[in-house]
Structure 1
Amino acid sequence: DTVQYKGGVGFISGFTGSSSCRIIDIHGEYIKNPEKKYTQVNLREVRKIHGNRSTVRYYANSSPTES
């Protein structure tokens, strides 16, 4: 799912227990609480934007080129 957390938009990369998850952005970086050292975020603080119904596996390392 595409989610929003503390102003960042990303994808849920996994769940840690029943009340928290990890979120990554399109660059593969964790979106986390800046006040904490760990990457888990509370599901109550996450807002679902879109249900993707698929797995995001890859991202582009370069910008598209003009032809």
Structure 2
Amino acid sequence: MNAEQPIPDSAELVWHKSSHSGGDGGECVEVAVTVPTVHVRDSKNVRGPRLSFGVSQWAAFVDFTAGR
């Protein structure tokens, strides 16, 4: 995992908001997937810090949280 410094959005990143994010302004997570990396950010702070994970690291995290 890497913490990225705030950077302007790149045209190649397409962000998707979590279906588990509430519409009331609570915890909101967005992800953008590229071939080598999954980027994660707070949708309320789109210019703020981001986390980045390798695809296999992200898949392991998703499997773990899904209880697989």
- Greater helix percent: which structure? 2
TM-score w.r.t. the length of structure 1 is 0.31
In terms of Rg, which structure is larger? 1
TM-score w.r.t. the length of structure 2 is 0.31
- Greater strand percent: which structure? 1
